[in-house]
Structure 1
Amino acid sequence: MSNAPRIEAEDDLYARDGSAWSRREAELLRQGRFGEIDIANVIEEIESVGRSERQRLKSNYRLVIQHLLKWQYQPERRSRSWTDTIRMQRTNIESNEEDSPSLKGEAAEIVAAAYRLAKKDAADETDLPLSTFPETCPYSAEQLRARDFLPE
Structure 2
Amino acid sequence: MITMPTVQNHPVTSSNSLYDQDFYQWLMITVKLLQERAIEQIDIDNLIKELEETAKRTQITVKSNLRVLLMNLLQYKYQPSVRCETYQSSLLKHRLRILDIFAQSPSLKPYYTEVFDQCYLYARKCAVTQTNLPLELLPETCPFTQEETLNLDYLPQ
Q: TM-score, normalised by structure 1?
A: 0.88
**2:146 equivalent to 1:145:** no
**2:128 equivalent to 1:123:** yes
Please say if residues 65 and 115 of structure 1, whose CA atoms lie closer than 8 Å, have aligned partners that are also in contact: yes
Q: What's the counterpart of residue 19 of structure 1?
A: 24
Deviates more, 1:20-29 or 1:111-120: 111-120
Q: What's the counterpart of residue 44 of structure 1?
A: 49
> Aligned runs of 1:30-109 on 2, under 5 Å?
30-109=35-114
**2:20 equivalent to 1:3:** no
User: What 5-or-longer segments of structure 1 have no aligned partner?
Assistant: none
> 3-state DSSP class of the match of 1:23?
helix
Structure 1 pair 131/12, CA: closer, same or farther in 2 (3 Å)?
farther
Structure 1 pair 24/62, CA: closer, same or farther in 2 (3 Å)?
same
Structure 1 pair 116/13, CA: closer, same or farther in 2 (3 Å)?
farther
Aligned mates of 1:74, 1:57 — CA distance in 2:
25
Give the percent of matched residue pairs that are identical in Structure 1 and Structure 2: 32
Aligned mates of 2:26, 2:142 — CA distance in 1:
42
Question: What is the one-letter code of the residue matched to 1:38?
Answer: D
Give the C-alpha shift of residue 144 in structure 1: 0.7
Q: TM-score, normalised by structure 2?
A: 0.85
Please say if residues 64 and 144 of structure 1, whose CA atoms lie closer than 8 Å, have aligned partners that are also in contact: yes
Aligned mates of 1:71, 1:52 — CA distance in 2:
28
Superposed CA RMSD in Å reads 1.9
Give the C-alpha shift of residue 102 in structure 1: 0.6
**2:115 equivalent to 1:110:** yes
Please say if residues 62 and 114 of structure 1, whose CA atoms lie closer than 8 Å, have aligned partners that are also in contact: yes
Q: What's the counterpart of residue 28 of structure 1?
A: 33
Please say if residues 58 and 113 of structure 1, whose CA atoms lie closer than 8 Å, have aligned partners that are also in contact: no
Question: What is the one-letter code of the residue matched to 1:65?
Answer: L
